[in-house]
Amino acid sequence: MAQNRVGYATSISIVQQQKYSVHPVNGLKRAYEQKEPDSIFKPISNSNFVQNSPKRHRIDALRRNRVEASRIHDATNDHQTIHSEHNRRQLTDSVLDPYQNPLLSLSHPCYSLPEALVENFASLGITSIYPWQSSCLLGRGLLGGEKNLVYTAPTGGGKSLVAEVLVLKRVIEDPTKKAILVLPYVALVQEKLKWLRKVVEGVRKCVGSLGQSGSQHPKWRKPHDSLVRVMGFFAGSQTRAAWTDVDIAVCTIEKANALVNTAIEECTINDLGIVVLDELHMINDDHRGYLMELMASKLLVLENHVQIVGMSATLTNVQVLARWLNAKYYSTKYVPVPIEEYLVYDCSIYPVSKSSAFLKSASQLKSVQPLSSICPTRVIQTSEHNELKNPVSNAVVALAIETANAGYGALIFCSGRQGCQSIASLVSEAMPGDLAVDNNVLDRRKDAINELRSLPAGLDEVLGKTFIRGVAFHHAGLTVEERDIVADAYDKGTINVIVATCSLAAGINLPARRVILHGARMGRDLIGPALLRQMRGRAGRKGKDEIGESYLCCQRADLEEVAQLIEAELPLVESSLTPEKRGIKRALLEVITVKLATHMAAIQEYVQRTLLYQTMEKAQLNGMVTATLEELIDSGLVTLDRLGSYEATQLSQATVASYLTPEDGIFLYGELRRALRAFVMDGEMHIFYTFTPINNLGIDIKWPIFRREMEGLDESGLRVLEFVGVNPGLVNRMANSARQLPETKPEETRTAKVYRRFYAALQLRDLCNEIPIHVVARKFDVPRGFVQTLAQICEGFAAGMVNFCDKMGWGMLKAALEHMVDRLKAGARADLLELAKIPFVKSRTARVFWENGFRGLRTVAEAEATDLVPILVLAQPKKLRLDGDEEAKYHQKLLLKAEIIVGAANRLWARQQQVEIEEDI
């Protein structure tokens, strides 16, 4: 009946007429019975949405004065009918039935997973696995840990579960073995840490573990008492866990490499059973990729086998990577949720299912002549509003509003922070004022706004305006806490639209019914095919959506390049140990320092285990290794004795222990040697400068601000300025000229490092002197998320400096730095360090507690939570007084936080008392 009806059917409306066993989490649709029959096959536009709901007949004057999203209507019928049938078949084919195929159940004896673990997976929504996951896991030697594995699957295809099963099986069945999961970004590490802790909750090692044959392995017949312990290792993490305290370590690339180095040096590397390299394509990254490669190469050299598992959604040369890692490989294109892909150009929507035909027609599309070969499936009306005159912005807003109207989630990618906020504001303004939002959702939005308001930085003005209308943005300029609240609200359906930067596509897990790309550029550069796949791969997730859609909206000038981008192959994953990337220098320094390879034969064996060996001409590679070893000797990092043994110097040991590159180690050595001769101890500026990382801060100096801060330095600060080599005259000239320092020559690069470090140290000084993050951000004209990230990076770097001084034997300097590390973590002066151990009591909040009589753990532990609420109110940034109900809810949020503070203070106080008792005994 429905098939004979003439009219356009969007993929959303097609799904609305069907019933599925999986219901979307992100938003609730109206019951289909409440809709008029004719609406099923009509586009979901603003006008239809208003007409079809009795709650939407009233449009007030305020609504008429606001921006209104353009309507989207169909341009053709036949094509969409065929396409819809294809969607139906895909949806039917994606249904999995573990009863028909028992191997799709994790409880099957072939996986030999403990019952508690299987139950935990089920409680988290994983009751069955996909056929490809089963085939991959059951590859010979994989479940037992004998073979390595490299595999690739599309985003959302279930890659992570395969690695998790292998990791959990290994640490559960052998209580002596540990696992390392390597992820590229802190946000991903934190997300994985939370997930794995839920997965292993209550799971004990060696309980009922079975071999693949189904018989209990005699070695593990006795139950083990300990639970599986999962710890996170990343910059800014508060964990003090040692290698012996962890079963599964979830790490960034840098921390994972450091853990492996430490384990090799301390001869505990045999405890390592499995290492998972997530986002394996990151080996291509110019700045950090070589760390992943040199770590894996070290593991391949070990006599004790460590199972290596590498995975990514964007691998092309899987066979080469498998040959390097001596691994089995598996590749699948299975997508559990079908994704429709579209290109939006000049207010017209084109399918990209036949991208080759589209590429040939790109030059025609750029012309003003109408096309006969390619017709749009839908057309977006041009807008009369000035804010939506740009066809790309008009398309983005229209598509986002259409999705929100249907009760689904939309994820918009923009190229920059300002673009994120502008588009979020525009979408929120265009959101229908009469959009049906039930009171429960509205209350949840207000609760989330109160959470944002209760943060030390207070409520961002733009975010507060957009959030109440169901729209938010997510970029590095927000603090970690703000991003967590935004992501959680989106995941729960509290907000419908989220706008994020392109660069965060790989660092967030925010699946959406519809992904919309606002252009195809990051700044001036076109995005690459790998990033494009990552962004589009966020569309549709199993368990949340039955289908996904991605829309790439582009300008007329970019059309031809975008068409080529859609058709482009993924780049090959190549080694980052090449001479131009200089990764080989650090690789050789590390294997010599940790004594993994100290003779030429052993060094050559290590080099043969690198990915570079698979692709580089052997004679050229040998010459490069010889030249690099000579460089290490000339720079004083390595010595060669008469027996041909390479030995690490004290400087080499300090460099590796501090996670530095050889170049940075040498630079830092020179700076600290000079500091030892005349360290400025009558102030704190010199220590803050020492704690500031050398590279990769992403800081652009604003010279007028630099001059203002320089003029405010006291005598001690001015001596530091002169001592490290900052010329006040140069700062004045740069402030007047509005230029940046040149960095074309080595000496110019060194000078720029000094100025950049000192400028960052000024921000660090303010943070450690209890100036709130948002105030520092305003003072230096940077986003507060950047200031928070700087503090986290400096905290990790400061720990490295302590290690550096320890290895060099500079005990007095180490002691001075150690004292300041605690202040850096607390963001407060020395008198508040005890208070700052309590969660939520940092920096300015700790000072307000102190000023109001709560001056230690004991006083806080003995307080009533209600007594702390007024203190927390005082600690918040200045804000407008809310209406009665909202003010009460806000105070309720603070009361919950106060209860957590009192509870944590009690535990810390009890622990401190226990330590004192044991010391007295």
Nearest CA-CA partner of 355 in 155, 515, 94, 532? 532
Please state which of the ranges 83-87, 236-240, 364-368, 862-866 shows the lowest mean pLDDT: 83-87
**What's this model's pTM, rounded to 2 decimal places?**
0.82
Look at residue 652 in the predicted model and tell me its pLDDT: 95
Mean pLDDT over 444-472 rounds to 88
Nearest CA-CA partner of 551 in 499, 509, 514, 510? 514
- CA-CA distances (angstroms) from residue 851 to 355, 627, 835, 848? 66, 62, 12, 5
Confidence of residue 457 (pLDDT cuts 50, 70, 90): confident
Look at residue 21 in the predicted model and tell me its pLDDT: 39
Q: Which residue has the higher pLDDT, 101 or 410?
A: 410
Tell me the C-alpha distance between 166 and 157, whole Å: 17
Are 182 and 276 spatial neighbours (Cβ–Cβ below 8 Å)? yes
Please state which of the ranges 13-22, 97-106, 668-677, 696-705 shows the lowest mean pLDDT: 13-22
Residue 730 has pLDDT above 60, yes or no: yes
Are 298 and 607 spatial neighbours (Cβ–Cβ below 8 Å)? no
Q: Which residue has the higher pLDDT, 193 or 12?
A: 193
Write out pLDDT tens, residues 895-917: 898 999 999 999 888 888 877 77
Write out pLDDT tens, residues 578-630: 877 778 999 999 999 999 999 999 999 999 999 999 888 999 999 999 999 99
Confidence of residue 507 (pLDDT cuts 50, 70, 90): low
Q: For the CA atoms of 233, 237, 240, 244, what is the dihedral angle to 10 degrees? A: -10
Confidence of residue 881 (pLDDT cuts 50, 70, 90): low
β-strand pairing of 230-233 with 248-251: parallel
Residue 403 has pLDDT above 50, yes or no: yes
Nearest CA-CA partner of 610 in 581, 638, 587? 587
Residue owning tokens 């007095």: 812
CA triplet 208, 213, 218: central angle to 5 degrees? 50
Look at residue 49 in the predicted model and tell me its pLDDT: 37
866-886 in b/e form (b: 16+ CB < 10 A) is eebbebbeebbeeeeebeeee
Percent of the chain clearing pLDDT 70 (strictly above): 82
Please state which of the ranges 269-283, 287-301, 544-558, 755-769 shows the lowest mean pLDDT: 544-558
State whether residue 738 is helix, strand or coil: coil
Confidence of residue 32 (pLDDT cuts 50, 70, 90): very low
Percent of the chain clearing pLDDT 90 (strictly above): 39
Residue 567 has pLDDT above 90, yes or no: no
Residue 886 has pLDDT above 80, yes or no: no
Mean pLDDT over 662-682 rounds to 88
DSSP for 151-166, please give it. EE--TTSSHHHHHHHH
Residue 401 has pLDDT above 90, yes or no: yes
Look at residue 377 in the predicted model and tell me its pLDDT: 86
Mean pLDDT over 133-157 rounds to 92
- Count how many residues are written for the chain: 921
Handedness of CA 411, 493, 68, 43 (dihedral sign): positive
Q: Which residue has the higher pLDDT, 827 or 151?
A: 151
Residue 920 has pLDDT above 90, yes or no: no
Confidence of residue 823 (pLDDT cuts 50, 70, 90): confident
**In Å, how far from its chain's centre is CA 296?**
22
Residue 41 has pLDDT above 60, yes or no: no
Confidence of residue 356 (pLDDT cuts 50, 70, 90): low
Residue 802 has pLDDT above 50, yes or no: yes
Beta bridge partners of 379: 73, 348
Residue 433 has pLDDT above 50, yes or no: yes
Residue 47 has pLDDT above 60, yes or no: no
**In Å, how far from its chain's centre is CA 507?**
3
Average pLDDT score over the chain: 82
Confidence of residue 317 (pLDDT cuts 50, 70, 90): confident
Residue 849 has pLDDT above 50, yes or no: yes
Mean pLDDT over 775-781 rounds to 92
Residue 78 has pLDDT above 60, yes or no: no
Q: Which residue has the higher pLDDT, 531 or 61?
A: 531
Domains of the chain: 1-94+337-571 (3.40.50.300), 110-331 (3.40.50.300), 583-648 (1.10.10.10), 662-827 (1.10.3380.20), 843-920 (no CATH)
Residue 799 has pLDDT above 70, yes or no: yes
Residue 759 has pLDDT above 50, yes or no: yes
Stated as kind and residue range, the H or E segment containing 295 is helix 289-301
Tell me the C-alpha distance between 653 and 658, whole Å: 9
Please state which of the ranges 260-264, 506-510, 635-639 shows the lowest mean pLDDT: 506-510
Mean pLDDT over 363-371 rounds to 51
Tell me the C-alpha distance between 505 and 511, whole Å: 10
Mean pLDDT over 262-281 rounds to 92
3-state secondary structure 460-488: CHHHHHHHCCCEEEECCCCCHHHHHHHHH
Mean pLDDT over 307-325 rounds to 91
Residue 39 has pLDDT above 70, yes or no: no
Look at residue 426 in the predicted model and tell me its pLDDT: 94
Residue 247 has pLDDT above 50, yes or no: yes
Give 456's DSSP letter.
T
Write out pLDDT tens, residues 166-198: 999 999 998 889 999 999 888 889 889 999 999
Residue 359 has pLDDT above 80, yes or no: no
Confidence of residue 671 (pLDDT cuts 50, 70, 90): confident
**In Å, how far from its chain's centre is CA 442?**
29
Mean pLDDT over 251-274 rounds to 92
Tell me the C-alpha distance between 28 and 405, whole Å: 11
